[in-house]
């Protein structure tokens, strides 16, 4: 072989090897990304490490100092102590391809006249049909606990009426315990409820912010040793509910819960790695109110838009700095001297801007007072996005378009605004907690979200 040919062969071989290696890498990335995107609820089985019983955990934790910043503390102290689940597919996600995908267009500006979609539901006929079937057949097994257990306050429903910003978490548990969805026979259960309360753990001095992750880990170990239901599916047919934003970090020491179980949370952001849309679900953060909501006709709402809140994010700071001197977009730093409700009733649009977390009660506030929500929280998986067409009763604007906000809202013709406001009044019942749950209220809407996420997996006993 000539020196030229030898030289050519020397160059060809490494290039050929590199080409083959690159092709294999691209194929691997493509195939695994499709697996995650197309089957977000695919599950894995693994053996949990042996662990002390839940009652033994608290011996070393009740004297821990209280931390100031909940979420930051959890993220700083995160350490996954359980082994990462080995990939072993055993089920497919619930097939809900028949539901149209929500078109939220979070990054779009609205400089032109808005052509509003009139329908509130993506597909009302499909929803009504499946809602009836869900109401008839969905069964949920709740891990049993007694009232005299040391942590009954965390694991059982409260007797009094929930209150405060994170009431949705307690309302759901209270409604579920009273509902016909509960079954005492795990053989007929579609889903299994992990009944721990994140908010109650946070407020319990024996657990506190620093002990939440360990409590969750120990609880799952406990039920996996005592019952067979978790291990047979890797937790794919289990779910928990958390409204406090700290809930999104509570699973960091129980990575199998984070990856496999259904998380029903208020802090539902695409930007967070722990939240997977279509596997997990978004629940509205609602401030409980009694009695019928006050109303004000669209023609009597004199202000264009309104916002008030703490300056705890760049989005809010930018909003207030841009519009603080405007006479039509009314923005306030912190609390107002005049009643908050009056401003909501007097405004056509009410602004939801991200704070520390993407979730706040402002969307619920706006809907309660018949004000059209303007959503500036990018990457927000809006509640009931599988069911409701948010663009029929809300205006979704990228936070980058804050300087154009007035132009965007003024481009919406008055008859389109009236339709938006009328639709707000129609969806109000879906954002309402009731002492005794009613059809199509928050509880039943969340149950429907769970219904379309349930696994088709059935077990042989």
Q: Is residue 237 part of a domain?
A: yes
- The answer to which of 74-78, 327-331, 369-373, 378-382 has the lowest mean pLDDT is 74-78
Cα separation, 306 vs 34, whole angstroms = 42
- The answer to which of 46-50, 360-364, 368-372, 376-380 has the lowest mean pLDDT is 46-50
**376 or 270, which is more confident:** 376
Cα separation, 8 vs 141, whole angstroms = 69
Q: Which tens digit of pLDDT belongs to each residue from 222-236? A: 999 999 999 988 999
> What is the distance of C-alpha 8 from the center of its chain?
58
The whole-number average pLDDT for the span 360-371 is 92
Residue holding tokens 């928050």? 442
Residues 371 and 234 in one domain: no
Cα separation, 321 vs 99, whole angstroms = 40
Asked if pLDDT for residue 433 goes beyond 80, the answer is yes
pLDDT at 304: 98
Q: Is residue 413 part of a domain?
A: yes
The whole-number average pLDDT for the span 121-127 is 95
Residues 265 and 188 in one domain: yes
Residues 374 and 452 in one domain: no
Residues 332 and 419 in one domain: yes
Residues 236 and 312 in one domain: no
Is 387 in a helix, a strand, or coil?
coil
pLDDT at 204: 93
Confidence of residue 270 (pLDDT cuts 50, 70, 90): low
384, 451 in Cβ contact below 8 A?
A: no
Computed over every residue of the chain, the mean pLDDT equals 78
Q: How crowded is residue 95: how many other Cβ atoms within 10 Å of its Cβ?
A: 9
DSSP per-residue letters across 338-355:
S-HHHHHHHEEEEEE---
185, 140 in Cβ contact below 8 A?
A: no
Q: Is residue 24 part of a domain?
A: no
Report the candidate in 456, 417, 438, 457 with the shortest Cα–Cα distance to residue 171.
Answer: 438
Residues 447 and 402 in one domain: no
- Phi first, then psi, for residue 238 (nearest 5°) are -115, 155
Cα separation, 307 vs 318, whole angstroms = 12
410, 304 in Cβ contact below 8 A?
A: yes
73, 263 in Cβ contact below 8 A?
A: no
Q: Is residue 405 part of a domain?
A: yes
Asked if pLDDT for residue 119 goes beyond 60, the answer is yes
Is 238 in a helix, a strand, or coil?
strand
The CATH number covering residue 361 comes to 3.40.50.2000
Q: Is residue 217 part of a domain?
A: yes
Residues 6+ apart with CB under 8 A from 34: none
Residues 189 and 279 in one domain: yes
Residues 172 and 310 in one domain: no
Residues 333 and 386 in one domain: yes
pLDDT at 22: 60
Residues 378 and 336 in one domain: yes
Q: Is residue 345 part of a domain?
A: yes
Residues 410 and 443 in one domain: no
60, 52 in Cβ contact below 8 A?
A: no
Q: Is residue 119 part of a domain?
A: no
- The answer to which of 64-73, 267-276, 370-379, 410-419 has the lowest mean pLDDT is 64-73
CA distances for 57 relative to 47, 217, 221, 379, angstroms: 20, 10, 12, 37
- The answer to which of 119-123, 412-416, 452-456 has the lowest mean pLDDT is 452-456
130, 453 in Cβ contact below 8 A?
A: no
Split into its structural domains, the chain has a count of 2
**116 or 129, which is more confident:** 129
Task: Give whichever of 88-102, 288-302, 436-450 has the largest mean pLDDT.
Answer: 436-450
**288 or 191, which is more confident:** 191
Residues 276 and 325 in one domain: no
Cα separation, 332 vs 40, whole angstroms = 41
Structural domain harbouring 388: 303-431
pLDDT at 50: 38
Q: Is residue 353 part of a domain?
A: yes
pLDDT at 271: 60
pLDDT at 77: 47
Cα separation, 123 vs 352, whole angstroms = 26
Task: Give whichever of 52-56, 107-111, 136-140, 208-212 has the largest mean pLDDT.
Answer: 136-140
């Amino acid at each position: 072989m000539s020196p030229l040919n030898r030289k050519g062969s020397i160059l060809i071989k490494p290039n050929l090897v590199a080409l083959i290696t690159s092709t294999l890498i691209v194929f691997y990335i493509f195939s695994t990304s499709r697996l995650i995107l197309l089957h977000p609820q695919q599950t894995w089985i693994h053996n949990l490490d042996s662990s002390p019983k839940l009652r033994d955990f608290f011996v070393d934790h009740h004297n821990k100092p209280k931390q100031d910043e909940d979420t930051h503390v959890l993220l700083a102290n995160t350490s996954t102590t359980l082994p990462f689940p080995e990939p072993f597919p055993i089920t497919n996600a619930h097939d809900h391809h028949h539901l149209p995908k929500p078109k939220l267009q979070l990054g779009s500006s609205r400089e032109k006249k808005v052509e509003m979609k009139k329908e509130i539901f993506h597909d009302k006929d499909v929803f009504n049909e499946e809602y009836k079937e869900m109401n008839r057949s969905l069964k949920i097994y709740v891990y049993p606990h007694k009232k005299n257990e040391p942590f009954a306050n965390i694991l059982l429903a409260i007797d009094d009426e929930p209150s405060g910003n994170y009431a949705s978490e307690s309302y759901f548990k209270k409604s579920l315990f009273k509902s016909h969805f509960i079954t005492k026979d795990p053989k007929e259960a579609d889903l299994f409820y992990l009944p721990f309360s994140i908010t109650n753990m946070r407020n319990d001095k024996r657990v506190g912010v620093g002990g939440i992750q360990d409590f969750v880990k120990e609880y799952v170990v406990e039920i996996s040793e005592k019952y067979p239901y978790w291990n047979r599916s890797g937790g794919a047919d289990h779910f928990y509910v958390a409204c406090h934003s700290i809930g999104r970090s509570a699973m960091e020491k129980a990575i199998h819960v984070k990856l496999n179980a259904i998380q029903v949370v208020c802090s539902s952001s695409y930007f967070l790695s722990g939240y997977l849309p279509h596997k997990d679900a978004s629940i509205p953060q609602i401030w409980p109110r009694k009695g019928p909501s006050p109303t004000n006709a669209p023609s009597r709402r004199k202000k264009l838009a309104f916002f008030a809140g703490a300056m705890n994010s760049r989005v809010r700071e930018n909003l207030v700095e841009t519009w603080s001197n405007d006479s039509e977009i009314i923005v306030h730093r912190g609390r107002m001297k005049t009643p908050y409700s009056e401003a909501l009733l007097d405004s056509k649009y009410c602004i939801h801007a991200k704070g520390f977390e993407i979730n706040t009660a402002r969307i619920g506030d706006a809907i309660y007072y018949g004000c059209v929500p303007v959503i500036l929280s990018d990457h927000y998986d809006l509640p009931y996005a599988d069911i409701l067409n948010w663009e029929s009763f809300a205006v979704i604007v990228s936070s980058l378009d804050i300087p154009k906000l007035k132009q965007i809202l003024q481009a919406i013709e008055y008859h389109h605004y009236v339709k938006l406001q009328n639709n707000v009044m129609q969806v109000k019942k879906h954002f309402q907690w009731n002492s005794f749950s009613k059809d199509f209220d928050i509880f039943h809407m969340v149950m429907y979200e769970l219904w379309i996420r349930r696994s088709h997996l059935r077990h042989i006993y």
